[in-house]
Amino acid sequence: MTPLLSVRGITKRYGAHIGCADVSFDLYPGEVMGIVGESGSGKSTLLNCMVGHLTPDAGEVVFDTRANGPQDTVTMSEPERRMLSRTDWAFVHQHARDGLRMGVSAGGNVGERLMAVGERHYGDIRDKASDWLQRVEIDAARVDDRPTTFSGGMQQRLQIARNLVTGPRLVFMDEPTGGLDVSVQARLLDLLRGLVRDMGLSAIIVTHDLAVVRLLADRLMVMKLGRVVEAGLTDQVLDDPQHAYSQLLVSSVLQV
């Protein structure tokens, strides 16, 4: 089977300082990969290199495109990469405000990606937007309300709906549950787990919250100081961590 995403030797330096160094992994269709590590360990740098928000200094990110098979997205032309990022890719920001247009209604937010790929029928766009609001457990009657009137958890769910409406195959998530209280987090995780399973999505989740990866991820990478120190199946890494740093991470989780 061809990997959906194949990352080889991604390196990003900020001057003399290392953002992330020589990261390689494969992600297969339907698989959810977690990337964990403390603040400053290079998780977000790695994620931003993969989606093209940052240009890596070395390495390649090969994505299995629908039309042309495996393509290196780092050397790909910008229009092609931007096309990918609004069709096959989705990016869920930590702060919903970064991923939403706060001055535009919920329906407009969800419809934007549809209109960006050429949908020009108002009725259809609105129906799809309402349908997606319901799928993320937002009342369809609120389709004309602005995200500013939504709670934090609803904004995050709206951001997810907006990203999934074009049926992407790969979702990048940057701390999707950061800043939400625990009950809202639980609901969001439940929703995400359902969507990932139903749509057969592949996902890369960057987080420092081990509980999130325990619930969502099939596989896990632990990063420290820009390097991957341990990788493996989620349960294996969390229940039997081998590297000293992974052991520290796991033992640092507070128990209630």
Partner 1 sequence: MSAYNFAYLDEQTKRMIRRAILKGLAIPGYQVPFASREMPMPYGWGTGGVQVSAAVLTPEDTFKVIDQGSDDTTNAVSIRTFFERTAGVETTTTTSDASVIQTRHRIPEEPLQEGQILVYQVPIPEPLRFLEPRESETRKMHSLEEYGLMHVKLYEDISCHGHIATAYAYPVKVEGRYVMDPSPIPKFDNPKLGDMAAIQLFGAGREQRIYALPPYTEVVSLDFEDHPFEASKAEHACSLCGAEDSYLDEVIIDDAGGRMFVCSDSDYCESRQAAGHKGKDAA
122 forms part of the interface with partner 1 (CB under 8 A):
yes
116: contact with partner 1 by CB under 8 A: yes
Q: Which is nearer to partner 1, 108 or 226 (CB)?
A: 108
Q: Which is nearer to partner 1, 22 or 119 (CB)?
A: 119
104 is an interface residue for partner 1 by CB under 8 A:
yes
Provide the 3-class DSSP secondary structure of residue 165.
coil
Question: Cα–Cα distance between 149 and 103 in angstroms, integer?
Answer: 11
Q: Parallel, antiparallel, or unpaired: how do β-strands 89-92 and 170-174 relate?
A: parallel
Strand 219-224 and strand 32-36: the pairing is parallel
Residue 158 token pair: 């709206």
SS3 232: strand
Which residues 59-98 are close enough to bind partner 1 by CB under 8 A?
A: 78-79, 82, 86
- From 17-25, 116-124, 131-139, 152-160, give the range in contact with partner 1 by CB under 8 A: 116-124
Which residue lies nearer to partner 1 by CB, 78 or 198? 78
Residue number with CB closer to partner 1 (51 or 205): 51
Strand ranges inside 85-218, DSSP E: 89-92, 170-174, 202-206
What token pair was written down for 171?
């979702």
Identify the residue whose tokens are 């390649």: 60
Interacting residues with partner 1 between 140 and 159 (CB under 8 A): 143-144
- Side chain identity at residue 109, one-letter code: N
Q: Contact with partner 1 (CB under 8 A): which of 60, 105, 195, 250? A: 105
**Nearest 5°: phi and psi at 30?**
85, 0
The residue (of 13 and 86) whose beta carbon lies closer to partner 1 is 86
Total binding residues toward partner 1, as defined by CB under 8 A: 24
Question: Residues 58, 117, 244, 248: which binds partner 1 (CB under 8 A)?
Answer: 117
Q: Is 112 in the site for partner 1 (CB under 8 A)?
A: yes
**CB 103 → partner 1: shortest distance, Å?**
8
Sorted by sequence, the CB contacts under 8 Å of residue 21 that are 6+ apart come out as 11, 42, 226, 227
Alpha-carbon distances of 132 from 128, 129, 194, rounded to whole Å? 6, 5, 14
Residue 254 half-sphere exposure, CB side, CA atoms within 13 Å?
1
Minimum separation from the CB atom of position 116 to partner 1 (A): 3
Cβ-based nearer residue to partner 1, 126 or 214: 126
Task: Enumerate binding residues for partner 1 (CB under 8 A).
Answer: 78-79, 82, 86, 101, 104-105, 107-108, 111-113, 115-118, 120-123, 125-126, 143-144
